[in-house]
Amino acid sequence: MQKIAPLNQIAKILDNLYLSSFLAVNEQNIQKYGITCVISVCKETPKITIQNVESVKVNVLDLPSETLYDYFDTLADKIHQVIIGNRGTCLVHCAAGISRSASIILVYLMKYLKMSLKDAHALTKSKRPFIRPNVGFWKQLIAYEKKLFNKNSVKIVDSGIGDIPDIYENEVRSMIWGRNNPELAGTLVAQKKLEQPKPSIPEPQLAMKKNAKIDSSSAYTTTYRASFQNYPR
């Protein structure tokens, strides 16, 4: 049996809600999972056209500067209509099923299941471990959570290599420590070192070199790559 690459797998978030990349959206998978509506949150891929399947598309790039917020309510409402109103099954995808589509899943979970952003992320990540909304989308998600519940479960912090949501602090700290201690990275010593309690980042010994210039968007991508490299193929 041919093994499917993680990015091309379809993740079941709820009984009637799925998340995937563009490459996973084909007639075979549509029939297999009983998909009745496909929501494409992607500018660079064509609109899905499969017989007897409703297709919705919004043209958004995976850039921190993009205003995905404008589509939050519209797409969350559409998912709700498909699942509750039509008793159908909805698949949300973008190019890789990591940032844009994952963000819309989080919005739906917050709005209709009344989940905090932190809990919505934890649930979605448990189903698709390499989801990673870009930092611009995180800021918009945080603003949306504030609008819904008048409080926040996630905040943006300065990691020393750019802004990140605080739920990624430990991951980024581990990445920076590994860069600064390459001879110990992956060893038992490193594991014990990282298991010790640590103050909030940034801290002097974990900071990048003073003259190093790192674009926050590329640093954020690096944290995703580190996460995905550890995901079993």
- 8 A C-beta contact, residue 130 and residue 171: no
In our burial notation (b when 16+ CB lie closer than 10 A, e otherwise), range 84-115 reads: eeeebbbbbbbbbbbbbbbbbbbbbbbbeeeb
Question: Is the link from the previous residue into 202 a cis peptide, with omega within 30 of 0?
Answer: yes
Single out the residue of 75, 66, 218 nearest to residue 139, CA to CA: 66
Distance CA 10, CA 23 (A): 10
Helix (H) or strand (E) holding 226: helix 216-229
Question: Does the active-site annotation cover 94?
Answer: yes
Q: Report the catalytic residues.
A: 94
